[in-house]
């Protein structure tokens, strides 16, 4: 092909300024380039180019997989575990399933609790002492 023929070939349609502004807003909200492209029906390369052209007003993209458990649920879960309303990891797993509708593994619950510095421990059991045993122990403690 000659140069005049390549100039006349249309590479693709330009996106409207409304779509461009919407894409920028979606990027500011934290959506990925793929999500923006799927939402607006534009190519992923176009979405990446829009991000690159406006990178000063758009925060950098978050890398890695998103959390399965939202932040509010994690904080609430930690509070419930500390106060004793939820006692086991399975209770916490059921709680997450009910509130967010997301099935998570028990290890995921453990990992999230560990990130909040909530460690597992075995609660000390109280001795099953009768009144006479308590009296004997008190007398022994007073003697020694």
Write the CA distances from 46 to 11, 39, 116, integer angstroms. Answer: 12, 13, 40
Kindly state the percentage of the chain with pLDDT values over 90. 62
pLDDT in tens, 43-85: 999 999 999 999 888 888 778 888 899 999 999 999 999 888 9
**Tally of structural domains, the chain:** 2
Q: Which residue has the tokens 């998103």?
A: 66
For residue 56, the domain's CATH number is 1.10.10
In a domain, residue 129? The reply is no
In a domain, residue 30? The reply is yes
Residue range of the domain that includes 87 = 71-115
In a domain, residue 87? The reply is yes
Confidence grade of residue 125 (pLDDT, cut at 50, 70, 90): confident
Indicate whether 1 pLDDT > 50.
no
Q: Specify the pLDDT at position 63.
A: 81
Q: Do 78 and 44 fall within a single domain?
A: no
Tokens of 57: 């007003």
User: pTM higher than 0.85 for the full model?
Assistant: no
Write the CA distances from 32 to 14, 28, 36, 57, 116, integer angstroms. Answer: 21, 10, 6, 15, 27
Q: Do 58 and 75 fall within a single domain?
A: no
In a domain, residue 100? The reply is yes
Residue range 82-100: average pLDDT? 92
Confidence grade of residue 11 (pLDDT, cut at 50, 70, 90): low
Q: Do 25 and 42 fall within a single domain?
A: yes
In a domain, residue 144? The reply is no
In a domain, residue 4? The reply is no
Tokens of 103: 């099935």
Indicate whether 9 pLDDT > 50.
no
């Amino acid at each position: 092909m000659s140069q005049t023929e390549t100039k006349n070939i249309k590479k693709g349609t330009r996106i409207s300024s409304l779509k461009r502004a919407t894409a920028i807003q979606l990027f500011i909200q934290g959506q990925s380039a793929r999500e923006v492209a799927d939402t607006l029906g534009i190519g992923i390369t176009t979405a990446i180019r829009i991000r690159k052209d406006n990178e000063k007003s758009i925060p950098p993209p978050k890398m890695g997989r998103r959390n399965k458990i939202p932040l509010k649920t994690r904080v609430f879960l930690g509070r419930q575990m500390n106060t004793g309303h939820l006692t086991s990891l399975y209770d916490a797993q059921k709680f997450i399933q009910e509130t967010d509708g997301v099935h998570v593994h028990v290890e995921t619950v453990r990992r999230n609790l560990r990130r909040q510095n909530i460690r597992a421990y075995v609660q000390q059991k109280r001795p099953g002492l009768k009144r006479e045993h308590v009296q004997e122990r008190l007398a022994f403690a007073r003697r020694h």
